[in-house]
């Protein structure tokens, strides 16, 4: 049984990835951001038999020493730690550079100097900006329309440079819009489902026109495993999109959720939830053929199936109680 390391392990995708890694036979050294409450985030909700194979380390990717201690003597590193909320990046862009750029640099340096065999770096479809061609392949131009997207693109370019300069064995995974249980209410699907589960029938949202390619979180976790375990010659030094190839507008998504939850919904567009006009990404649709050809990965869940699982999660009172559904979560 081999050890692997995960940064951002306490978060939405990170906690699902930890589960998937343990299920596939790994032991996991999981970094959760240091806090005085000794909170392990969503890792605290995982089954005891899963956590028996997990060593939780409180640290910070912005600190090089924390990162080196985390990754030493591991076979692979999955780097998911990031600041991800787009609206907050308008308020605090410096913190996004600290975490998403400098934090990634610290991970790359540790992997390079400790000669870790594989690093999976997490990108985002937001780096593409509004689609210029559809579906979006990895050759699509990078067009960062928010400080968040710019910081993630900066991390991506560092990863590319470390492969080119030092042959650091890094592969970049670029998930499109992941959703599912444990996601924060900064994202549209938990915002809608959470409000409905809490009894609301009038839903407050931002722009209803943008379209997105939504991927269920367990499928995204499988994509991480796929690029983390594939032969080096097929993935190292490359970037891979992960998405379904389908798209739906936010407005149509709300109606679909209402149908699945058997509820008629009214939607109010709230000004504070709308991005600046030049910053809104209007269309994202994934071409994941490169990932499929290199690893055989394909999504197992339809949008409707993933939504049903997510609705079930939020309808559990214990899960819903973890959220402040009445607040605008940036």
52, 32 contact by CB (below 8 A): no
Q: Are 250 and 281 in contact (CB under 8 A)?
A: no
Instruction: Reduce the DSSP state of residue 178 to 3 states and report it.
Output: strand
Closest CA to 249 of 325, 172, 303: 303
Q: Which domains does the chain have, with CATH numbers?
A: 3-179+215-242 (3.40.50.720), 188-212+246-284+301-320 (3.90.25.10)
Residue 115 CB-density burial (10 A; 0-12 exposed, 13-18 middle, 19+ buried): exposed
148 catalytically annotated? yes
Token pair recorded at residue 280 = 């809104």
pLDDT of residue 207: 80
Beta strands in 187-272 (DSSP E): 202-205, 211-212, 214-216, 239-242, 248-249, 266-269
Neighbours of 231 (CB within 10 A): 9
> What pLDDT, on a 0 to 100 scale, did the predictor assign at position 206?
76
- pTM of the prediction? 0.96
Catalytic choice (128, 148, 162, 323): 148
Tens place of pLDDT per residue across the chain (330 aa): 789 999 999 999 999 999 999 999 999 999 999 999 999 999 999 999 999 999 999 999 999 999 999 999 999 999 999 999 999 999 999 999 999 999 999 999 999 999 999 999 999 999 999 999 999 999 999 999 999 999 999 999 999 999 999 999 999 999 999 999 999 988 999 999 999 999 988 887 878 889 999 999 999 999 999 999 999 999 999 999 999 999 999 989 999 999 999 998 888 777 667 678 778 888 999 999 999 999 999 999 999 999 999 999 999 999 999 998 877 766
Decide if 288 contacts 245 (C-beta within 8 A).
Answer: yes
Take residue 142 and report the two structure tokens written for it.
């990078």
Give pLDDT, residue 24: 97
Closest CA to 75 of 37, 21, 39: 21
Q: How many residues does the chain have?
A: 330
Helix (H) or strand (E) holding 57: strand 54-59
pLDDT of amino acid 272: 67
How confident is the model at residue 330, as a pLDDT? 66
Give the residue among 80, 76, 79 at the shortest CA–CA distance from 25.
76
């Amino acid at each position: 049984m081999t050890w692997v390391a995960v940064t951002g392990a306490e978060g939405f995708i990170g906690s699902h990835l930890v589960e998937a890694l343990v299920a596939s036979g790994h032991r996991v050294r999981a970094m959760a951001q240091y806090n005085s409450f000794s909170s392990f985030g969503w890792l605290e909700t995982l089954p005891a038999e899963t956590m028996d194979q997990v060593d939780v380390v409180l640290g910070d990717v912005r600190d090089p020493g924390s990162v080196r201690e985390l990754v030493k003597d591991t076979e692979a590193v999955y780097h998911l730690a990031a600041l991800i909320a787009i609206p907050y990046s308008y308020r605090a862009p410096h913190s996004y550079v600290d975490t998403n750029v400098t934090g990634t640099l610290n991970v790359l340096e540790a992997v390079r100097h400790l000669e870790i065999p594989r690093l999976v770096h997490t990108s985002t479809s937001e780096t593409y900006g509004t689609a210029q061609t559809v579906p979006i392949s990895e050759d699509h131009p990078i067009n960062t329309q928010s400080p968040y997207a710019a910081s993630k693109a900066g991390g991506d370019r560092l990863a590319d440079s470390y492969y080119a300069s030092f042959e650091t064995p890094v592969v970049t995974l670029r998930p499109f819009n992941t959703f599912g249980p444990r996601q924060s209410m900064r994202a549209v699907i938990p915002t809608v489902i959470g409000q409905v589960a809490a009894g609301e029938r009038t839903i407050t949202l931002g722009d209803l026109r943008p379209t997105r390619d939504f991927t269920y979180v367990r499928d995204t976790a499988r994509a991480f495993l796929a690029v983390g375990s594939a032969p080096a010659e097929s993935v190292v030094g490359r970037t891979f999109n992960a998405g379904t190839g389908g798209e739906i507008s936010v407005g149509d998504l709300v109606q679909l959720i209402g149908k699945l939850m058997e509820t008629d919904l009214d939607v109010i567009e709230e000004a504070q939830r709308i991005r600046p006009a030049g910053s809104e990404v209007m269309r994202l649709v994934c071409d994941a053929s490169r990932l499929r050809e290199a690893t055989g990965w394909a999504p197992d869940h339809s949008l409707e199936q993933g939504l049903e699982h997510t609705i079930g999660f939020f309808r559990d009172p214990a899960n819903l109680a973890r959220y402040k559904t009445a607040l605008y979560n940036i």
